[in-house]
């Protein structure tokens, strides 16, 4: 086979490889560190953040300070111009000591549908002042995923109160399971669950670590921080239930180090945050349910011209080099 023929065959293999590749449904969590409209006044920051978030079907943003919605309006507008997807967001009320910090979920309208939302009050007997920023819980449905319905419970803990807040998060999980009659739940956020704040010894007796049926996806040796001075797995995913765990792509939970991916300097990353985002992939529906029909639609025009391509390949001259 000549060089030209080999190149054509490789192109065909790449085409079929593209069709068979499953990208999954990507859930992300990102502490964007004092996110406001001033931060987005830097065009480079806006472009880089847009590029990072556009990879996600759903993304939790933490440490958002945007009660008037101006920053999110700019960000969503940038996302909607960036690619073929349409994006929306849902935000919590102002939380934290100053009442100005929000949880925000950004999502693709084509792949995720917001079913319900719930602001955990943190005013229940015996639980006052447990959380510095009460969880803002969302229920999504995605026809793209194998699991369909799932609930996301976010939390950004106060570092010195990490163990207490993480243990109390188990109560939130229990309540939301009963409230919405759901089992597929993912806990996510900046848990400060490493280094001096949460140690192996201090985890003993903590329900979020010790309860059967809760699965921590990121390893303790992961580094979710940007600077070279720290090496800590602060940001985490915790899956509730074996069914939901089976609906997650194996080994897909990871830190997205976009400094290395995009070959940029740490200084550029730090303009957004001192954290990296974390991500995990939900399995898409099986080929019998979804992929087969989509691939057949893509293949149909190609199959019509396949005989012509075969004829063209047979007439290509052999390479003399």
Distance between CA atoms of residues 67 and 12, nearest Å: 51
Do 146 and 281 form a contact (C-beta atoms < 8 A)?
Answer: no
- Specify the pairing of strand 254-255 against strand 278-282: antiparallel
pTM of the model: 0.83
Distance between CA atoms of residues 213 and 317, nearest Å: 62
Per-residue confidence in pLDDT tens, the chain, 321 aa: 554 454 444 434 334 433 334 479 999 999 999 999 999 999 999 999 999 999 999 999 999 999 999 999 999 999 999 999 999 999 999 999 999 999 999 999 999 999 999 999 977 655 567 999 999 999 999 999 999 999 999 999 999 999 999 999 999 999 999 999 999 999 999 999 989 898 888 888 899 999 999 999 999 999 999 999 999 999 999 999 899 999 999 999 999 999 999 999 999 999 999 999 999 999 998 754 555 445 554 555 555 655 565 565 556 555 444
CA 140-115-108 angle, to 5 degrees, is 50
Residue 285 per-residue DSSP state:
P
Distance, CA of 42 to chain centre: 24
R_g over Cα of the chain: 23
pLDDT for 108 equals 99
Tokens of 93: 């009320």
Distance between CA atoms of residues 299 and 291, nearest Å: 12
The architecture CATH gives domain 26-282? 4-Layer Sandwich (3.60)
pLDDT for 283 equals 98
Do 282 and 146 form a contact (C-beta atoms < 8 A)?
Answer: yes
Distance between CA atoms of residues 188 and 51, nearest Å: 21
Distance between CA atoms of residues 266 and 258, nearest Å: 10
Residue 299 per-residue DSSP state:
H
H runs (alpha helix) in 21-161: 43-53, 70-82
pLDDT for 16 equals 43
pLDDT for 282 equals 98
Sequence spans of domains, the chain: 26-282
Q: Report helix angle 3-20 to 292-315, nearest 10.
A: 180
């Amino acid at each position: 086979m000549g060089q030209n023929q080999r190149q054509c065959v490789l192109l065909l293999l790449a085409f079929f490889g593209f069709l068979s590749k499953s990208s999954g449904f990507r859930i992300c969590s990102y502490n964007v560190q004092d996110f406001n409209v001033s931060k987005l006044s830097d065009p480079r920051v806006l472009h880089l953040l847009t590029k990072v978030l556009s990879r996600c079907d759903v993304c939790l943003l933490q440490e958002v300070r945007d009660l008037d919605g101006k920053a999110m309006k700019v960000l969503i507008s940038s996302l909607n111009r960036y690619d073929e997807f349409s994006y929306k967001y849902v935000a919590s009320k102002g939380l934290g000591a100053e009442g100005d910090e929000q949880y925000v979920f950004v999502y693709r309208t084509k792949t995720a549908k917001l079913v319900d939302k719930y602001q955990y009050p943190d005013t229940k007997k015996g639980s006052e002042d447990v959380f510095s920023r009460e969880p803002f819980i969302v229920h999504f449905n995605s026809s793209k995923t194998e699991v369909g319905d799932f609930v996301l419970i976010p939390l950004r803990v106060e570092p010195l109160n990490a163990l207490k807040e993480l243990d109390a998060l188990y109560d939130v999980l229990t309540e939301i399971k009963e409230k919405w009659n759901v089992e597929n739940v993912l806990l996510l956020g900046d848990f400060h669950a490493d280094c001096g704040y949460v140690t192996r010894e201090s985890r003993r007796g903590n329900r979020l670590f010790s309860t059967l049926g809760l699965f921590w996806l990121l390893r303790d040796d992961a580094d979710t921080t940007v600077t070279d001075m720290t090496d800590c797995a602060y940001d985490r995913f915790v899956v509730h239930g074996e069914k939901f765990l089976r609906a997650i792509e194996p080994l897909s939970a990871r830190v997205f180090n976009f400094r290395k991916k995009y070959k940029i300097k740490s200084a550029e990353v730090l303009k957004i945050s001192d954290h990296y985002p974390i991500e995990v992939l939900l399995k898409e529906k099986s080929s019998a349910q979804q992929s087969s029909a989509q691939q057949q639609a893509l293949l149909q025009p190609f199959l019509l011209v396949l005989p012509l391509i075969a004829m063209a390949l047979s007439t290509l001259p052999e390479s003399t080099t």
